[in-house]
């Protein structure tokens, strides 16, 4: 049972069993395995476990609605909006840029990890930038702190743009006097923009848009946008810093992505 008193799903139970087996193999030198009774029990649990509900993608129209609701005169809103956009474009996991409650991971994006580059490839002031880069020193799937650097050019849109997103973060961080080595979305005294706060913002906008808020969260929204725009599979994998093909579970094929496919089938 979890904290809400709800039983664990089949996939969660399997993951925990794998952890138990790994622990015994690593520390006791033997594999407890799964006997016939366990196998039958797991098959039964699988039958009665509801299928995983696929999260809906964060569309550009929803992003624009969120933008219109934001009061960007406030520093916190600047950080929230900038973080939301940066996470969208760089396919960032929530642990890579958001606070989880009042805590953050050691590899969270630091303010000094955001860089601005001009048209000739030189570091520049934010208002002169044509490109933005982020540097991450680790991730959930990169526990040894391997440096990962990714870049995005201006999108051409005055609102939905990675360079504009980074500029909003810098403006908000300046008002909070954030030090370069602090988390980019820090609001001071060990606090910052949280995953819960960002998710609530998205869910509220989804509800106003006539959508089911339960289908929206902080997971990789940008992968869907890239897939349906025709981006190369490898480009999506590398941009999202995935070490396997697990990312293929996240994108949703939208009407835009399937447009024209019927002509190929005739």
Q: What is the pTM of this model?
A: 0.76
What's the mean pLDDT in 206-211? 90
What per-residue confidence (pLDDT) applies to 145? 66
Q: Where are the alpha helices (DSSP H) in the chain?
A: 10-27, 36-48, 60-69, 75-89, 162-175, 195-208, 222-228, 233-239, 255-258, 261-264
Q: How confident is the model at residue 5 (pLDDT cuts 50, 70, 90)?
A: low
Domain 60-215 top-level CATH class: mainly alpha
Domain boundaries, the chain: 10-48, 60-215
**For 79-132, what is each residue's pLDDT tens digit?**
999 999 999 999 888 889 999 988 898 889 999 999 999 999 999 999 999 999
Segment 171-176 long-range contacts (CB within 8 Å, at least 24 positions apart): 171/75, 171/78, 171/82, 172/75, 172/76, 172/77, 172/78, 172/79, 172/82, 173/79, 173/111, 175/75, 175/78, 176/75, 176/79
**For 46-93, what is each residue's pLDDT tens digit?**
777 666 667 777 888 999 999 999 999 999 999 999 999 999 999 888
Q: Is 8 helix (H, G, I), strand (E, B) or coil?
A: coil
Q: How confident is the model at residue 155 (pLDDT cuts 50, 70, 90)?
A: very high
């Amino acid at each position: 049972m979890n904290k809400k008193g709800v039983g664990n799903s089949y996939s969660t139970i399997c993951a925990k069993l794998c952890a138990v087996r790994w622990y015994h193999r690593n520390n006791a030198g033997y594999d407890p395995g799964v006997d016939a009774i366990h196998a039958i029990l797991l098959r039964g649990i699988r039958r009665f476990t509801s299928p995983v509900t696929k999260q809906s993608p964060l569309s550009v129209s929803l992003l624009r609605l969120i933008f219109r609701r934001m009061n960007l005169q406030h520093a916190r809103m600047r950080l929230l909006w900038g973080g939301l956009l940066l996470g969208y474009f760089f396919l960032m996991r929530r642990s890579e840029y958001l606070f989880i409650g009042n805590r953050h991971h050691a590899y969270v994006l630091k303010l000094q990890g955001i860089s601005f580059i001009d048209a000739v490839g030189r570091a520049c002031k934010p208002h002169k930038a044509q490109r933005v880069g982020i540097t991450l020193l680790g991730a959930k799937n990169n526990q040894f702190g391997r440096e990962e650097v990714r870049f995005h050019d201006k999108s051409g849109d005055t609102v939905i743009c990675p360079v504009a997103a980074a500029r909003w973060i810098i403006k908000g961080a300046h008002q909070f006097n954030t030090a370069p080595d602090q988390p980019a979305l820090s609001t001071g005294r060990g606090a910052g923009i949280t995953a819960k706060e960002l998710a609530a913002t998205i869910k509220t906008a989804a509800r106003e848009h006539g959508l089911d808020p339960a289908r929206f969260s902080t997971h990789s929204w940008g992968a869907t946008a890239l897939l349906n725009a025709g981006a190369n599979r490898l480009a999506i994998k590398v941009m999202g810093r995935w070490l396997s093909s697990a990312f293929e579970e996240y994108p949703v094929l939208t009407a835009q992505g399937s447009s024209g496919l019927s002509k190929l089938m005739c």
